[in-house]
Chains A and B, each alone.
Chain A
Amino acid sequence: MTERTLEVKLKSGLQARQAALFVQEANRFSSDIYLEKGTRKVNAKSIMGIMSLAIARGVEVTLSADGHDEEDAVTALSAIIEDEAAG
């Protein structure tokens, strides 16, 4: 189990298109991946789940993954959330 807490740096948060990109990336890994914001934790491979969190810039989220590619998954997905240039 790999876990990382990070701050969202995407300019306008995780909007629909970025959420789709995030979920598409998450689906490349076989680990179970979760994204947590406040008290809510959703499956990172579910687009509706991710979007329901309405993740804004500056918010703190926790990424966690469990599986044989968990570290790669967390690294790759963190990069999307922390990409200041996108969105």
Chain B
Amino acid sequence: MQKNIRNFTIIAHIDHGKSTLADRLLEYTGALSSREMTEQVLDSMDLERERGITIKAHAVRLGYKADDGNEYVLNLIDTPGHVDFSYEVSRSLASCEGSVLVVDATQGVEAQTLANTYLAIEHNHEIIPVINKIDLPGAEPQKVKEQIEEAIGIDCSEAILASAKEGIGTKEILDAIVRKVPPPKGTGEAPLKALIFDSWFDNYQGVIVLIRVFDGTVRPGMKMRLMAAGKEHEITKVGVFTPKMEEVPQLSAGEVGYLIAGIKTVGDTKIGDTITDAARPAESQLPGYKEIKPMVFSGLYPVENIQYEELKNALEKLRLNDSSFSFEPETSSALGFGFRCGFLGLLHMEIIKERLEREFQLSLITTAPTVIYRVTGTKGEEFFIDNPSSLPDRFEKIEEPYVKVSVFVPQEYIGQILELCQEKRGAQTEFTFISKDRIMVGYEIPLNEILWDFYDRLKSVSRGYASMDYEFIGYRPSKLVKLDVLLNGEPVDALSLIVHSDTSYYKGRQLVEKLRQVIPRQMFEIAIQASIGGKIIARESVKAMRKNVLAKCYGGDITRKRKLLEKQKEGKKKMKQIGKVEIPQEAFLTVLKVKE
């Protein structure tokens, strides 16, 4: 019953109520009773719930009997809500025909929402605008409607006023999905074409692949072929999430569900790849497939060298589930053995690091994140570097990745935003009023500059009102130099940075000053120096520790005093010894906090 299927997704900015709305839809359609609901079912990972963001896409099949008396199958495809995962978002969007656009009635349209809505429109989605949180005192639904009309250019006369928290508007949204979102096209008889829009590793079943079938039928026993990867596997199970996993005999054109085929690593099931029947393959794969590459690199080192193997095992385990992150062994003269890891973005990096520490109880040092530079050597040879310390002293040319950043900001904060973008070496390409008091500015900025503290400062100068999105636009030559840090005369490779030469002196001074603040006093004076091309440009020192003594220690509190010492001892363990100097974990990220 293809004509009764509706595939849709929800587009919303962080905190605008996407997960709560998803919960309501599940509840209303009886997929889960309210008793079964743990808050926000779709965000299942602890980390996701804590951060209030959705990291992995999921798909849930809902049964809904509409007022016209027909039973409909509604497939809700959840999407990640962060800029780091925009490719995954695009594949989720490609799997459906409509989007519910949720905008917070008190906040208005944000950059992320806009970017995703444009993407949805590119995928020919029918957009159903929903103004959420209308129960809040600060709600301005009319103003937000106008904003959506002006900013996105879609008709909001039928926008649904809702409060997912209070359950207001849930039925109206379901009805609109049935009425407005077109049923999927495609035929069950054509050769199989199914799009992978997500996959993850399950300890018991292997890789679980989420698919949208465009043509043909997929069923257990079939030998499938991954068209981009060129590999074949035998399908053992197909099914749907209701949201519990439920096996079905087959999935046909227009349907959404999962398949299991004894695959061991998610790296084999690339998001965007097309699945076809090996016995009767489709002629061409579905459009839009891209090999996604990490954009941001950072070194991960165990604080205790003996944890190296554990770290390696943990990285391998995480990689089973996340093919977008990469790691390679790396040696640092300062930090010993570790890994150079590649991430989609900063959030992705933080998530991986936090999972390593939380789920695997590792104590880690993260070096400052960096982008990949394209270097032309003195003999004209071209190579890429993902670690500042590997930049040679002499080279012909260095190029860095640029991104186009779009910022949405209320007019009153525009001055600070422009200043920030200028400071980050940005060149303005766009300046548009999207409504009476909201502006969108576009800037071309080196990716490296937005890694540092761009997002935090964007939020702080706009009191949280500005939002942003960015996309990679290519490599451009830059005047870049390597800034080295020396502790008591010894260079510390893990603290090296690549910076723009115009601000290099200033950054060098800032960096040594910051390091002076985070490196605790030790038994001797520590000289901290910054150098460029062998020339010292800044120096600070951490004076020797003067005093650390317990004045009193008598019978009463010997156990307490022992515990006190043990606590200090634990503190020491979190330090990394580099030569004779002990450096706290956070020192390696201090470089991030250096302002222009």
A associates with B: no
Q: Which residues of B contact A (CB under 8 A)?
A: none
Q: Which residues of A contact B (CB under 8 A)?
A: none
